[in-house]
Each structure stands twice: as structure tokens, then as C-alpha cells.
Amino acid sequence: MALLETKNLGISFGGLRAVNAFDISVEKGQLYGLIGPNGAGKTTIFNLLTGVYQPDEGAILLDGVNLTGKKTIDICKAGIARTFQNIRLFGDMTVLDNVKVGLHNHYTYSTLEGILRFPRYHKVEKEMNEKAMELLKVFGLEEYADYKAENLPYGQQRKLEIARAMATAPKLLLLDEPAAGMNPNETKELMDMIGFVRDHFDMTILLIEHDMKLVSGICEKLTVLNFGEVLAQGDTQDVLSNPEVITAYLGS
């Protein structure tokens, strides 16, 4: 059974068909790419998968469970986490606290316990701090734990956003243009990190990307979108050698 499966997924905005009859099947442990020109519908699909938008038609299945119509928070709890093309961190919070936000999916205490600092509050906070630091070490961010997130260099903010998403213990990680704004050295480091996350956490990853070197270097499967329609789908090298893809996406 595929970990993620969509069937005939579609949505319109004001009469414009943004995504039409979108089908995808992502296997557990796969590193899958979603590419296409600007305006092709890639981020719209991520917004559908995470409940930001509700589809006009079709279904979204995660591990065989139908998530169609669920709220974003419920989809997150079910096991889908994401990052954004435009980084969305809590800038005034510390790096450590940003990761702890993701941990609240699994660590809880009541409002009363928090206000009165009952023993359970201190126990849970200690466990969360330890888990958050473990994640920061994985991403090489432990020395920045007490920094405000907004004061991190750009590349480190990208890493922090992925670490926060991983704190939710997802089954599926969605990365929306993780290499956006990075220089070649940062992109190479990111490629290595994404591969490490997949292997270290046994993670399934679906990513949107424009950097073709990154896509061809790490993705096993690709789906190419154009005007909300699937243009090509399959093994990465087969898709990238498809003349229709070259014409529509690479502009050749």
C-alpha cells in the first residue's frame, strides 16, 4: 500500500481550474519530486494535502486513511508535516522553542498544570527540551538553541524549519522549495541533509523544487505539472528526458 495516494484531486478558484484530476502514489521511504513551471499548481497541491484548501473533488489517503476535508491540525496529527517556500518561523521565539512547538503534537499538559507549575509540567518540559536538543543536534543547530530564530542565517533558518516539522514525528514530510534562495554550496549541503533525514528517520519525503540538479540528484520519482495537469510521471531520469517536459518546463 502506498503511504500517500491522491485520487482525481481537483480545485478551482473563481472559475480557474488550478488543479485537475491529480493522481499520485508515493511509497513509504521514497524521495519524490513535484516539479513544474511557476503557476503549475504545485503549492496548491501542498495546500490541499495539508488542509489549507479543501478540494472540490477527489480524495487524499495517508496509509489508507481518508484525510479529505480534515482540518490542518488533524492532518498534522495524522502524520503530514510541511515547510514553506517563504520560511515561516516564529522569529521572536528561540530556536529551541520553535522546535518545541512541533513537539506539542505529542507532549501535553493542562493549562492549570502549566500556570501552577505542577510536577507534571516540569517533567514534560524537561522531556521536550531534551527531545528538541536531540533534533537540533541532527541538523547542526544545537549551538544556536538560545538564539532568536530571526537572527539565524538564512540557510540555518531553512534547517530549523525542517527540524520543527520533524518534531511532529510525521509519516510524510512535504518540502516546498527548500533550496530557494540558497547558493550552490548551501544547496549541496541541503541535498545531503535531505538524504540524511530520509535515511536516519526512515522518512518519506515529497518535495517541490526548481533546482534541477537537486531534483535529479536525490529524487527517485517525479511528477511534472503544467497548468494544473499532470504532464509526466515516473522514474526521474525517464521524466527529465521526456520531450514534453523539456519544452514545457526547461524551456528548450
Predicted confidence at residue 146, as pLDDT, reads: 96
Beta 80-82 vs 16-26: how paired, if at all? Answer: unpaired
**Region 225-251: what's the mean pLDDT?**
82
Predicted pLDDT of residue 18? 96
pLDDT-above-70 percentage for the chain: 90
Report whether pLDDT(105) > 50.
yes
What topology is assigned to 1-79+170-252 in CATH? Answer: Rossmann fold (3.40.50)
Contact assessment for residue 159 and residue 189, using Cβ atoms and an 8 Å cutoff = no
What are the percentages of helix, strand and coil residues in the chain, rounded to 5?
Answer: 40, 25, 35
pLDDT, tens digit (0-9, with 9 covering 90-100), for 9-60: 999 999 899 999 999 999 999 999 999 888 899 999 999 999 999 999 999 9
Q: Are 211 and 187 in contact (CB under 8 A)?
A: yes
Q: pLDDT-based confidence at 243, cuts 50/70/90? A: confident
Work out the mean pLDDT of the chain and round it to a whole number.
89
Least confident of 33-42, 107-116, 212-221: 107-116
- Residue 121 or residue 127, greater confidence: 127
Crossing angle between the packed helical segments 154-166 and 184-200, to the nearest 10 degrees: 10
Q: Is 80 exceeded by the pLDDT of residue 244?
A: no
**C-alpha to C-alpha distance for 105 and 75, rounded to whole angstroms:** 11
- Which of these, 126, 182, 178, lies nearest to 154 by C-alpha position? 182
Cα–Cα distances (Å) from 164 to 47, 98, 122, 156, in that order, read: 18, 6, 21, 12
250 backbone dihedrals φ, ψ, rounded to 5°: -85, -15
Asked if the model's pLDDT at residue 212 lies above 80, the reply is: no
pLDDT of residue 214: 83
Amino acid letter, residue 84: F
- Mean pLDDT of the 205-213 span: 87
Position 104 pLDDT exceeds 90: no
User: Residue 65: which residues within 8 A CB-CB, separation 6 or more?
Assistant: 78
The verdict on pTM exceeding 0.85 is yes
The per-residue pLDDT for 252 is 42
Place of cell 496529527: 77
What mean pLDDT do residues 75-104 have? 94
Q: How far apart are alpha carbons 130 and 118 in whole angstroms?
A: 19
* pLDDT for 114: 52
User: Looking at residue 248, what is its pLDDT?
Assistant: 63
Q: In the structure grid, which three cell numbers stand for residue 29, read together?
A: 521511504
Confidence band of 251 (pLDDT split at 50, 70, 90): low
- Pick from 19-28, 125-134, 211-220 the range whose average pLDDT is largest: 19-28
* Domain boundaries of the chain, sorted by first residue: 1-79+170-252, 88-168
